[in-house]
A and B are shown apart, each in its own frame.
Chain A
Amino acid sequence: MFGNLIDKIQHLGVVTLGSFQRLGRAGVFLLEVIASCTDLLVKPTLLVKQMFSVGVQTLIIIVVAGLFVGMVMALQSYYALVDFGAEDSVGVMVSLSLLRELGPVVTALLFAGRAGSALTAEIGLMKATEQLSGMEMMAVNPMRRIVAPRFMAGVISMPLLATIFSAVGVLGAYVVAVQLLGLDSGAFWSQPQNKVDLYEDIYNGLIKSLVFGLIASWIAVFEGYDCIPTSEGLGQATTRTVVYSSLAILFMDFILTALMFSK
Protein backbone atom coordinates (compact mmCIF):
# COMPACT_ATOMS: atom_id res chain seq x y z
CA MET A 1 0.00 0.00 0.00
CA PHE A 2 2.81 2.38 0.90
CA GLY A 3 4.62 1.38 -2.27
CA ASN A 4 1.56 2.39 -4.28
CA LEU A 5 1.33 5.73 -2.49
CA ILE A 6 5.01 6.45 -3.02
CA ASP A 7 4.62 5.57 -6.72
CA LYS A 8 1.79 8.09 -7.00
CA ILE A 9 3.78 10.82 -5.25
CA GLN A 10 6.75 10.04 -7.47
CA HIS A 11 4.52 10.24 -10.54
CA LEU A 12 3.16 13.59 -9.37
CA GLY A 13 6.73 14.85 -8.95
CA VAL A 14 7.71 13.68 -12.44
CA VAL A 15 4.64 15.31 -14.00
CA THR A 16 5.23 18.59 -12.11
CA LEU A 17 8.90 18.72 -13.02
CA GLY A 18 8.05 17.90 -16.64
CA SER A 19 5.51 20.73 -16.75
CA PHE A 20 7.99 23.26 -15.39
CA GLN A 21 10.67 22.07 -17.82
CA ARG A 22 8.23 22.51 -20.68
CA LEU A 23 7.24 25.97 -19.46
CA GLY A 24 10.91 26.92 -19.33
CA ARG A 25 11.46 25.57 -22.83
CA ALA A 26 8.47 27.54 -24.07
CA GLY A 27 9.91 30.71 -22.50
CA VAL A 28 13.30 30.25 -24.14
CA PHE A 29 11.52 29.41 -27.39
CA LEU A 30 9.56 32.69 -27.24
CA LEU A 31 12.78 34.69 -26.79
CA GLU A 32 14.35 32.88 -29.75
CA VAL A 33 11.28 33.55 -31.90
CA ILE A 34 11.26 37.24 -31.01
CA ALA A 35 14.99 37.48 -31.79
CA SER A 36 14.35 35.72 -35.12
CA CYS A 37 11.69 38.25 -36.13
CA THR A 38 14.38 40.73 -37.22
CA ASP A 39 14.74 38.74 -40.48
CA LEU A 40 11.20 39.74 -41.43
CA LEU A 41 12.46 43.28 -42.04
CA VAL A 42 14.75 41.89 -44.75
CA LYS A 43 12.20 39.45 -46.18
CA PRO A 44 8.74 41.01 -45.61
CA THR A 45 7.19 38.71 -48.24
CA LEU A 46 7.43 35.84 -45.72
CA LEU A 47 5.23 37.84 -43.33
CA VAL A 48 2.77 38.93 -46.00
CA LYS A 49 2.27 35.31 -47.11
CA GLN A 50 1.55 34.22 -43.56
CA MET A 51 -0.71 37.22 -42.88
CA PHE A 52 -2.84 35.89 -45.71
CA SER A 53 -3.15 32.35 -44.38
CA VAL A 54 -3.34 33.30 -40.69
CA GLY A 55 -5.31 36.55 -40.96
CA VAL A 56 -7.26 36.78 -44.21
CA GLN A 57 -8.37 33.15 -44.19
CA THR A 58 -9.71 33.57 -40.64
CA LEU A 59 -11.73 36.60 -41.72
CA ILE A 60 -14.92 34.79 -42.75
CA ILE A 61 -15.45 33.04 -39.42
CA ILE A 62 -14.70 36.32 -37.61
CA VAL A 63 -17.18 38.34 -39.69
CA VAL A 64 -19.97 35.77 -39.41
CA ALA A 65 -19.41 35.26 -35.67
CA GLY A 66 -19.18 39.03 -35.08
CA LEU A 67 -22.46 39.63 -36.91
CA PHE A 68 -24.38 37.05 -34.90
CA VAL A 69 -22.84 38.03 -31.56
CA GLY A 70 -23.83 41.66 -32.22
CA MET A 71 -27.36 40.66 -33.22
CA VAL A 72 -27.85 38.45 -30.15
CA MET A 73 -26.41 41.15 -27.87
CA ALA A 74 -28.88 43.67 -29.31
CA LEU A 75 -31.83 41.36 -28.74
CA GLN A 76 -30.84 40.44 -25.19
CA SER A 77 -30.02 43.99 -24.10
CA TYR A 78 -33.21 45.34 -25.71
CA TYR A 79 -35.40 42.89 -23.79
CA ALA A 80 -33.59 43.68 -20.55
CA LEU A 81 -33.59 47.47 -20.96
CA VAL A 82 -37.05 47.98 -22.38
CA ASP A 83 -38.64 47.26 -18.97
CA PHE A 84 -36.83 50.29 -17.59
CA GLY A 85 -37.47 52.46 -20.63
CA ALA A 86 -33.75 52.49 -21.29
CA GLU A 87 -33.79 50.74 -24.69
CA ASP A 88 -32.04 53.73 -26.27
CA SER A 89 -28.91 52.49 -24.50
CA VAL A 90 -28.76 49.31 -26.59
CA GLY A 91 -26.18 50.88 -28.93
CA VAL A 92 -23.78 51.92 -26.19
CA MET A 93 -24.20 48.67 -24.28
CA VAL A 94 -23.40 46.54 -27.32
CA SER A 95 -20.51 48.80 -28.37
CA LEU A 96 -18.85 48.79 -24.97
CA SER A 97 -19.32 45.05 -24.51
CA LEU A 98 -17.80 44.34 -27.90
CA LEU A 99 -14.90 46.77 -27.67
CA ARG A 100 -13.91 45.98 -24.12
CA GLU A 101 -14.55 42.24 -23.85
CA LEU A 102 -16.30 40.24 -26.52
CA GLY A 103 -14.35 41.56 -29.49
CA PRO A 104 -10.88 40.66 -28.19
CA VAL A 105 -11.91 37.52 -26.30
CA VAL A 106 -14.21 35.85 -28.83
CA THR A 107 -11.86 36.73 -31.70
CA ALA A 108 -8.94 35.20 -29.79
CA LEU A 109 -10.90 32.03 -29.02
CA LEU A 110 -11.96 31.68 -32.66
CA PHE A 111 -8.40 32.46 -33.75
CA ALA A 112 -7.01 29.72 -31.48
CA GLY A 113 -9.49 27.22 -32.91
CA ARG A 114 -9.08 28.15 -36.57
CA ALA A 115 -5.59 29.56 -37.12
CA GLY A 116 -3.79 28.32 -33.98
CA SER A 117 -4.63 24.67 -34.57
CA ALA A 118 -3.70 25.02 -38.25
CA LEU A 119 -0.32 26.55 -37.32
CA THR A 120 0.42 23.72 -34.89
CA ALA A 121 -0.57 21.07 -37.41
CA GLU A 122 1.48 22.69 -40.19
CA ILE A 123 4.67 23.10 -38.17
CA GLY A 124 4.24 19.68 -36.52
CA LEU A 125 3.79 18.01 -39.90
CA MET A 126 6.89 19.78 -41.22
CA LYS A 127 8.76 18.34 -38.25
CA ALA A 128 7.35 14.84 -38.78
CA THR A 129 8.30 14.87 -42.48
CA GLU A 130 11.83 16.11 -41.66
CA GLN A 131 11.30 19.41 -43.50
CA LEU A 132 12.58 21.36 -40.50
CA SER A 133 15.65 19.09 -40.20
CA GLY A 134 16.15 19.44 -43.95
CA MET A 135 16.19 23.23 -43.63
CA GLU A 136 18.69 23.06 -40.77
CA MET A 137 20.97 20.90 -42.89
CA MET A 138 20.65 23.44 -45.73
CA ALA A 139 22.00 25.97 -43.22
CA VAL A 140 18.62 27.71 -43.07
CA ASN A 141 17.28 28.41 -39.58
CA PRO A 142 13.63 27.23 -39.45
CA MET A 143 13.04 29.62 -36.54
CA ARG A 144 13.64 32.52 -38.91
CA ARG A 145 11.95 31.16 -42.01
CA ILE A 146 9.05 29.10 -40.63
CA VAL A 147 8.28 29.98 -37.01
CA ALA A 148 8.92 33.75 -36.81
CA PRO A 149 6.73 34.74 -39.82
CA ARG A 150 3.80 32.67 -38.52
CA PHE A 151 4.15 34.00 -34.99
CA MET A 152 4.38 37.62 -36.10
CA ALA A 153 1.49 37.20 -38.55
CA GLY A 154 -0.66 36.00 -35.64
CA VAL A 155 0.37 38.89 -33.39
CA ILE A 156 -0.39 41.48 -36.08
CA SER A 157 -3.58 39.84 -37.34
CA MET A 158 -5.33 39.55 -34.00
CA PRO A 159 -5.96 43.27 -33.29
CA LEU A 160 -7.12 43.74 -36.89
CA LEU A 161 -9.48 40.78 -36.66
CA ALA A 162 -10.79 41.93 -33.27
CA THR A 163 -11.46 45.40 -34.72
CA ILE A 164 -13.37 43.90 -37.62
CA PHE A 165 -15.27 41.61 -35.23
CA SER A 166 -16.38 44.57 -33.09
CA ALA A 167 -17.28 46.73 -36.10
CA VAL A 168 -19.37 43.97 -37.71
CA GLY A 169 -20.95 43.21 -34.31
CA VAL A 170 -22.10 46.82 -33.92
CA LEU A 171 -23.55 46.72 -37.44
CA GLY A 172 -25.37 43.48 -36.58
CA ALA A 173 -26.76 45.13 -33.46
CA TYR A 174 -27.88 48.13 -35.57
CA VAL A 175 -29.78 45.86 -37.96
CA VAL A 176 -31.62 44.13 -35.12
CA ALA A 177 -32.21 47.15 -32.87
CA VAL A 178 -33.08 49.76 -35.50
CA GLN A 179 -34.34 47.81 -38.50
CA LEU A 180 -36.17 44.99 -36.70
CA LEU A 181 -37.10 46.34 -33.25
CA GLY A 182 -37.73 49.89 -34.43
CA LEU A 183 -35.29 51.73 -32.15
CA ASP A 184 -34.41 55.28 -33.16
CA SER A 185 -31.33 55.34 -35.36
CA GLY A 186 -30.07 58.64 -33.93
CA ALA A 187 -30.31 57.34 -30.37
CA PHE A 188 -28.57 54.13 -31.33
CA TRP A 189 -25.52 55.97 -32.74
CA SER A 190 -25.34 59.08 -30.56
CA GLN A 191 -24.96 57.31 -27.22
CA PRO A 192 -21.90 55.30 -28.24
CA GLN A 193 -20.47 58.49 -29.75
CA ASN A 194 -20.68 60.17 -26.35
CA LYS A 195 -19.85 57.27 -24.08
CA VAL A 196 -17.15 55.26 -25.87
CA ASP A 197 -13.73 56.56 -24.91
CA LEU A 198 -10.86 56.27 -27.34
CA TYR A 199 -8.24 55.46 -24.71
CA GLU A 200 -10.21 53.57 -22.10
CA ASP A 201 -12.32 51.46 -24.43
CA ILE A 202 -10.81 51.24 -27.90
CA TYR A 203 -7.10 51.31 -27.03
CA ASN A 204 -7.53 48.97 -24.08
CA GLY A 205 -9.45 46.55 -26.29
CA LEU A 206 -6.67 46.69 -28.87
CA ILE A 207 -4.02 46.07 -26.19
CA LYS A 208 -6.02 43.07 -25.02
CA SER A 209 -6.25 41.60 -28.49
CA LEU A 210 -2.52 42.20 -29.04
CA VAL A 211 -1.72 40.28 -25.84
CA PHE A 212 -4.14 37.50 -26.79
CA GLY A 213 -2.58 37.34 -30.27
CA LEU A 214 0.85 36.95 -28.75
CA ILE A 215 -0.31 34.21 -26.37
CA ALA A 216 -2.31 32.25 -28.97
CA SER A 217 0.45 32.46 -31.60
CA TRP A 218 3.18 31.58 -29.09
CA ILE A 219 1.31 28.49 -27.89
CA ALA A 220 0.45 27.43 -31.45
CA VAL A 221 3.98 27.64 -32.86
CA PHE A 222 5.57 26.16 -29.74
CA GLU A 223 3.22 23.18 -29.66
CA GLY A 224 3.95 22.50 -33.34
CA TYR A 225 7.71 22.83 -32.93
CA ASP A 226 7.83 20.79 -29.72
CA CYS A 227 5.39 18.03 -30.71
CA ILE A 228 6.26 14.34 -30.85
CA PRO A 229 6.62 13.80 -34.62
CA THR A 230 4.02 11.05 -34.97
CA SER A 231 0.37 11.19 -35.98
CA GLU A 232 -0.68 10.67 -32.36
CA GLY A 233 1.76 13.31 -31.09
CA LEU A 234 0.53 15.77 -33.70
CA GLY A 235 -3.10 15.20 -32.73
CA GLN A 236 -2.29 15.76 -29.06
CA ALA A 237 -0.33 18.92 -29.86
CA THR A 238 -3.22 20.37 -31.88
CA THR A 239 -5.65 19.64 -29.05
CA ARG A 240 -3.28 21.20 -26.50
CA THR A 241 -3.02 24.35 -28.64
CA VAL A 242 -6.76 24.93 -28.53
CA VAL A 243 -7.16 24.04 -24.84
CA TYR A 244 -4.12 25.93 -23.51
CA SER A 245 -4.75 28.97 -25.71
CA SER A 246 -8.40 29.21 -24.65
CA LEU A 247 -7.59 28.90 -20.96
CA ALA A 248 -4.65 31.32 -21.19
CA ILE A 249 -6.76 33.87 -23.06
CA LEU A 250 -9.58 33.74 -20.49
CA PHE A 251 -7.12 33.97 -17.60
CA MET A 252 -5.24 36.89 -19.15
CA ASP A 253 -8.55 38.60 -19.90
CA PHE A 254 -9.34 38.62 -16.19
CA ILE A 255 -5.89 39.99 -15.32
CA LEU A 256 -5.99 42.68 -18.00
CA THR A 257 -9.56 43.70 -17.16
CA ALA A 258 -8.63 44.02 -13.50
CA LEU A 259 -5.62 46.18 -14.43
CA MET A 260 -7.35 48.33 -17.03
CA PHE A 261 -10.78 49.01 -15.64
CA SER A 262 -10.31 49.03 -11.87
CA LYS A 263 -11.22 52.39 -10.35
Chain B
Amino acid sequence: MSDILVKIRDLHFSRGNRKIFDGISLDIPRRGVTAIMGPSGTGKTTLLKLIGGQLRPDQGSIEVDGLNVHQLSTRKLFELRQRMGMLFQSGALLTDLSVFENVAYPLREHTKLSDAMIRHLVLLKLNAVGLRGAADLMPSELSGGMSRRVALARAIALDPMMIMYDEPFTGQDPISMGVLVSLISELNSALDICSIVVSHDVPDTLSISDHVHFISAGKIVESGSPETLQNSKSAWTHQFIHGDADGPVPFHYPANPILDDLYQEGK
Protein backbone atom coordinates (compact mmCIF):
# COMPACT_ATOMS: atom_id res chain seq x y z
CA MET B 1 0.00 0.00 0.00
CA SER B 2 1.40 3.36 -1.07
CA ASP B 3 2.26 5.93 1.59
CA ILE B 4 0.62 8.58 -0.57
CA LEU B 5 -3.16 8.76 -0.17
CA VAL B 6 -3.97 11.76 -2.36
CA LYS B 7 -1.95 12.39 -5.50
CA ILE B 8 -2.68 15.61 -7.42
CA ARG B 9 -0.99 16.13 -10.76
CA ASP B 10 -0.99 19.22 -13.02
CA LEU B 11 -4.36 20.42 -11.73
CA HIS B 12 -6.00 23.23 -13.66
CA PHE B 13 -9.34 24.69 -12.61
CA SER B 14 -11.12 27.92 -13.51
CA ARG B 15 -14.32 29.64 -12.51
CA GLY B 16 -15.48 31.66 -15.50
CA ASN B 17 -12.44 33.62 -16.66
CA ARG B 18 -10.75 33.39 -13.28
CA LYS B 19 -7.98 30.82 -12.99
CA ILE B 20 -8.11 29.16 -9.57
CA PHE B 21 -5.42 26.46 -10.05
CA ASP B 22 -2.74 26.74 -12.65
CA GLY B 23 -1.08 23.36 -12.85
CA ILE B 24 -0.52 22.44 -9.20
CA SER B 25 0.87 19.04 -8.19
CA LEU B 26 1.08 17.76 -4.64
CA ASP B 27 1.07 14.56 -2.60
CA ILE B 28 -0.78 14.06 0.66
CA PRO B 29 0.51 11.21 2.84
CA ARG B 30 -1.72 8.42 4.16
CA ARG B 31 -1.06 9.34 7.78
CA GLY B 32 -0.73 12.60 9.66
CA VAL B 33 -2.21 16.07 9.44
CA THR B 34 -1.60 17.93 6.18
CA ALA B 35 -2.45 21.62 6.11
CA ILE B 36 -3.37 23.50 2.94
CA MET B 37 -3.00 27.18 3.68
CA GLY B 38 -3.23 30.42 1.80
CA PRO B 39 -5.05 33.76 1.71
CA SER B 40 -8.85 33.94 1.34
CA GLY B 41 -10.07 33.28 -2.16
CA THR B 42 -7.12 31.16 -3.28
CA GLY B 43 -9.28 28.07 -3.78
CA LYS B 44 -8.55 26.03 -0.67
CA THR B 45 -12.16 24.91 -0.28
CA THR B 46 -12.32 24.36 -4.04
CA LEU B 47 -9.37 21.99 -3.71
CA LEU B 48 -11.27 19.92 -1.12
CA LYS B 49 -14.31 19.80 -3.40
CA LEU B 50 -12.09 18.66 -6.26
CA ILE B 51 -10.59 15.91 -4.08
CA GLY B 52 -14.09 14.83 -3.03
CA GLY B 53 -15.26 14.73 -6.65
CA GLN B 54 -17.85 17.48 -6.19
CA LEU B 55 -16.08 19.59 -8.81
CA ARG B 56 -14.37 18.48 -12.01
CA PRO B 57 -10.95 19.87 -13.00
CA ASP B 58 -10.36 21.45 -16.40
CA GLN B 59 -7.15 19.49 -16.73
CA GLY B 60 -4.98 17.17 -14.63
CA SER B 61 -5.82 14.33 -12.29
CA ILE B 62 -6.57 13.63 -8.65
CA GLU B 63 -6.06 10.14 -7.28
CA VAL B 64 -7.35 9.10 -3.89
CA ASP B 65 -6.13 5.73 -2.64
CA GLY B 66 -5.05 4.86 -6.18
CA LEU B 67 -8.43 5.74 -7.76
CA ASN B 68 -8.75 8.58 -10.24
CA VAL B 69 -11.64 10.47 -8.64
CA HIS B 70 -12.94 12.04 -11.84
CA GLN B 71 -12.96 8.87 -13.90
CA LEU B 72 -15.07 6.88 -11.46
CA SER B 73 -18.70 6.01 -12.10
CA THR B 74 -21.20 7.62 -9.70
CA ARG B 75 -21.53 4.33 -7.81
CA LYS B 76 -17.77 3.91 -7.41
CA LEU B 77 -17.39 7.58 -6.43
CA PHE B 78 -20.03 7.16 -3.73
CA GLU B 79 -18.23 4.02 -2.51
CA LEU B 80 -15.03 6.04 -2.27
CA ARG B 81 -16.79 8.86 -0.43
CA GLN B 82 -17.90 6.38 2.23
CA ARG B 83 -14.22 6.18 3.08
CA MET B 84 -13.85 9.98 3.16
CA GLY B 85 -15.17 12.29 5.84
CA MET B 86 -15.65 15.98 5.35
CA LEU B 87 -16.21 18.69 7.90
CA PHE B 88 -17.83 21.72 6.27
CA GLN B 89 -17.24 25.25 7.47
CA SER B 90 -20.90 25.60 8.47
CA GLY B 91 -21.13 22.08 9.87
CA ALA B 92 -23.79 21.27 7.24
CA LEU B 93 -25.92 19.39 9.77
CA LEU B 94 -29.37 18.33 8.56
CA THR B 95 -31.55 20.83 10.37
CA ASP B 96 -34.65 18.62 10.60
CA LEU B 97 -32.78 15.85 12.44
CA SER B 98 -31.54 15.79 16.05
CA VAL B 99 -27.84 15.60 16.89
CA PHE B 100 -28.18 11.84 17.45
CA GLU B 101 -29.95 11.29 14.11
CA ASN B 102 -27.41 13.45 12.27
CA VAL B 103 -24.56 11.22 13.46
CA ALA B 104 -26.64 8.10 12.85
CA TYR B 105 -27.52 9.24 9.31
CA PRO B 106 -24.54 7.77 7.41
CA LEU B 107 -24.80 4.57 9.45
CA ARG B 108 -28.49 4.16 8.60
CA GLU B 109 -27.81 4.94 4.93
CA HIS B 110 -24.82 2.69 4.37
CA THR B 111 -25.02 -0.15 6.89
CA LYS B 112 -27.59 -2.71 7.94
CA LEU B 113 -26.71 -2.45 11.63
CA SER B 114 -29.42 -2.92 14.24
CA ASP B 115 -30.84 0.11 16.04
CA ALA B 116 -29.10 -0.97 19.25
CA MET B 117 -25.72 -1.16 17.52
CA ILE B 118 -26.26 2.20 15.82
CA ARG B 119 -27.14 3.72 19.18
CA HIS B 120 -23.92 2.40 20.71
CA LEU B 121 -21.80 3.66 17.83
CA VAL B 122 -23.43 7.09 17.76
CA LEU B 123 -23.01 7.56 21.49
CA LEU B 124 -19.35 6.53 21.25
CA LYS B 125 -18.71 8.99 18.40
CA LEU B 126 -20.51 11.77 20.27
CA ASN B 127 -18.54 10.90 23.40
CA ALA B 128 -15.31 11.26 21.41
CA VAL B 129 -16.22 14.88 20.62
CA GLY B 130 -17.57 15.52 24.11
CA LEU B 131 -21.21 15.92 23.11
CA ARG B 132 -22.86 12.68 24.26
CA GLY B 133 -25.04 14.80 26.56
CA ALA B 134 -26.28 16.85 23.59
CA ALA B 135 -27.59 13.85 21.65
CA ASP B 136 -31.24 14.93 21.89
CA LEU B 137 -30.70 18.58 20.95
CA MET B 138 -31.62 19.97 17.56
CA PRO B 139 -28.95 21.69 15.40
CA SER B 140 -30.64 25.08 15.99
CA GLU B 141 -29.90 24.70 19.72
CA LEU B 142 -26.14 24.28 19.20
CA SER B 143 -23.40 26.91 19.17
CA GLY B 144 -21.13 27.18 16.13
CA GLY B 145 -18.36 25.21 17.84
CA MET B 146 -20.76 22.47 18.98
CA SER B 147 -22.20 22.18 15.45
CA ARG B 148 -18.72 21.54 14.08
CA ARG B 149 -18.04 18.94 16.75
CA VAL B 150 -21.29 17.14 15.89
CA ALA B 151 -20.33 17.34 12.22
CA LEU B 152 -16.95 15.87 13.17
CA ALA B 153 -18.67 12.99 14.98
CA ARG B 154 -20.75 12.43 11.83
CA ALA B 155 -17.65 12.59 9.63
CA ILE B 156 -16.00 9.77 11.63
CA ALA B 157 -19.19 7.68 11.87
CA LEU B 158 -18.12 5.30 9.11
CA ASP B 159 -14.46 5.16 10.27
CA PRO B 160 -13.06 6.86 7.16
CA MET B 161 -9.48 6.66 5.90
CA MET B 162 -9.31 10.44 5.60
CA ILE B 163 -11.08 13.53 6.91
CA MET B 164 -11.09 16.87 5.15
CA TYR B 165 -11.59 19.93 7.34
CA ASP B 166 -12.81 23.08 5.60
CA GLU B 167 -11.82 26.13 7.67
CA PRO B 168 -12.57 24.41 11.00
CA PHE B 169 -11.41 27.34 13.16
CA THR B 170 -13.16 30.25 11.44
CA GLY B 171 -15.35 32.34 13.74
CA GLN B 172 -14.64 30.32 16.88
CA ASP B 173 -14.10 31.69 20.37
CA PRO B 174 -10.74 30.76 22.01
CA ILE B 175 -12.20 27.86 24.02
CA SER B 176 -14.05 26.32 21.03
CA MET B 177 -10.94 26.86 18.95
CA GLY B 178 -8.78 25.05 21.53
CA VAL B 179 -11.29 22.18 21.68
CA LEU B 180 -11.32 21.80 17.88
CA VAL B 181 -7.53 22.01 17.59
CA SER B 182 -6.99 19.26 20.15
CA LEU B 183 -9.87 17.17 18.73
CA ILE B 184 -8.41 17.20 15.23
CA SER B 185 -4.98 16.28 16.52
CA GLU B 186 -6.19 13.58 18.93
CA LEU B 187 -8.64 12.00 16.50
CA ASN B 188 -5.97 11.85 13.85
CA SER B 189 -3.59 10.07 16.22
CA ALA B 190 -6.24 7.76 17.66
CA LEU B 191 -7.69 6.72 14.30
CA ASP B 192 -4.31 6.80 12.52
CA ILE B 193 -5.78 8.39 9.41
CA CYS B 194 -5.07 11.20 6.97
CA SER B 195 -6.40 14.62 7.95
CA ILE B 196 -6.40 17.48 5.46
CA VAL B 197 -6.95 20.83 7.12
CA VAL B 198 -7.73 23.84 4.98
CA SER B 199 -7.27 27.03 6.94
CA HIS B 200 -5.74 30.48 7.05
CA ASP B 201 -5.36 30.43 10.79
CA VAL B 202 -1.57 30.19 10.99
CA PRO B 203 -0.53 29.44 14.59
CA ASP B 204 -3.18 26.84 15.43
CA THR B 205 -2.95 25.03 12.13
CA LEU B 206 0.84 24.88 12.17
CA SER B 207 0.76 23.60 15.76
CA ILE B 208 -1.03 20.37 14.76
CA SER B 209 0.26 19.83 11.21
CA ASP B 210 2.87 17.37 10.04
CA HIS B 211 3.03 18.73 6.48
CA VAL B 212 2.06 22.14 5.13
CA HIS B 213 1.41 23.44 1.62
CA PHE B 214 1.04 27.16 0.98
CA ILE B 215 -1.11 28.05 -2.03
CA SER B 216 -1.42 31.44 -3.69
CA ALA B 217 -2.47 32.67 -7.14
CA GLY B 218 -3.16 29.16 -8.38
CA LYS B 219 0.30 27.79 -7.53
CA ILE B 220 1.98 26.02 -4.64
CA VAL B 221 4.20 28.69 -3.12
CA GLU B 222 6.06 26.48 -0.67
CA SER B 223 5.73 23.07 1.01
CA GLY B 224 7.38 21.45 3.98
CA SER B 225 7.14 20.81 7.70
CA PRO B 226 5.85 23.64 9.95
CA GLU B 227 9.37 24.20 11.32
CA THR B 228 10.90 24.51 7.84
CA LEU B 229 8.26 26.99 6.74
CA GLN B 230 8.53 29.09 9.87
CA ASN B 231 12.24 29.55 9.08
CA SER B 232 11.65 30.04 5.36
CA LYS B 233 13.59 32.70 3.46
CA SER B 234 10.64 33.25 1.08
CA ALA B 235 9.24 36.78 1.40
CA TRP B 236 5.72 35.53 0.61
CA THR B 237 5.85 32.83 3.30
CA HIS B 238 7.24 35.33 5.80
CA GLN B 239 4.42 37.79 5.03
CA PHE B 240 1.72 35.11 5.33
CA ILE B 241 3.01 33.58 8.57
CA HIS B 242 3.53 36.97 10.26
CA GLY B 243 0.50 38.67 8.76
CA ASP B 244 2.39 41.68 7.37
CA ALA B 245 0.09 44.24 5.73
CA ASP B 246 2.34 44.82 2.72
CA GLY B 247 4.85 42.67 0.87
CA PRO B 248 4.68 40.29 -2.10
CA VAL B 249 0.89 40.38 -1.56
CA PRO B 250 0.38 44.15 -1.99
CA PHE B 251 -1.84 46.26 0.23
CA HIS B 252 -3.37 47.99 -2.80
CA TYR B 253 -5.56 46.23 -5.31
CA PRO B 254 -4.06 46.87 -8.78
CA ALA B 255 -5.15 50.33 -9.97
CA ASN B 256 -4.07 53.32 -12.02
CA PRO B 257 -1.82 55.87 -10.30
CA ILE B 258 -3.94 57.82 -7.84
CA LEU B 259 -3.23 61.19 -9.52
CA ASP B 260 -4.56 59.84 -12.82
CA ASP B 261 -7.81 58.74 -11.16
CA LEU B 262 -8.23 62.00 -9.25
CA TYR B 263 -7.48 64.09 -12.31
CA GLN B 264 -10.03 62.18 -14.42
CA GLU B 265 -12.71 62.65 -11.77
CA GLY B 266 -12.01 66.39 -11.65
CA LYS B 267 -12.38 66.66 -15.41
Contacts and interface: CB of A to CB of B under 8 A. Distances in A.
Partners in one complex: yes
Contact of A139 (B78, B94, B151): B78
The interface centre, meaning the residue of B82, B84, B92, B106 with most chain A CB atoms within 10 A of its CB, is B92
Interface string B228-260: 000000000000000000000000000000000
Size bracket of the A interface: 10 to 19
Nearest to A145: B109
Nearest to B89: A130
Contacts of B52: 136-137
How extensive is the interface on chain B, given as a class? 20 to 34
Interface in A7-33: none
Interface string B87-108: 0111011110000000001100
A138 B155 CA distance: 8
Contacts of A133: 49, 54, 88, 92
Nearest to B83: A139
A230 interface: no
A138 B52 CA distance: 10
A193 interface: no
A131 B86 contact: no
B92 A130 contact: yes
Contact of A137 (B81, B89, B95): B81
Interface in A101-144: 126, 129-131, 133-141
Given A130-B88, A130-B92, A139 B110 contact: yes
Contacts of B90: 129-130
Contacts of A136: 52, 54, 81
B79 interface: yes
Contacts of A130: 88-90, 92
A109 B42 CA distance: 46
B248 to A, nearest CB: 32
A140 B106 contact: yes
A252 B109 CA distance: 39
A236 B93 CA distance: 25
A131 B106 contact: no
| Residue of B74, B105, B154 most packed against chain A (CB within 10 A) | B105
Contacts of A139: 78-79, 81-82, 106, 109-110
Nearest to A146: B94
Interface of A: 126, 129-131, 133-141
11 contacts: A126-B95, A129-B90, A129-B95, A133-B92, A134-B88, A134-B151, A136-B52, A137-B84, A137-B85, A138-B81, A139-B82
Given A129-B90, A134-B88, A137-B52, 17 more contacts: A129-B95, A130-B90, A131-B92, A131-B94, A131-B95, A133-B92, A134-B92, A137-B54, A137-B84, A137-B86, A137-B88, A138-B81, A138-B106, A139-B79, A139-B106, A141-B74, A141-B78
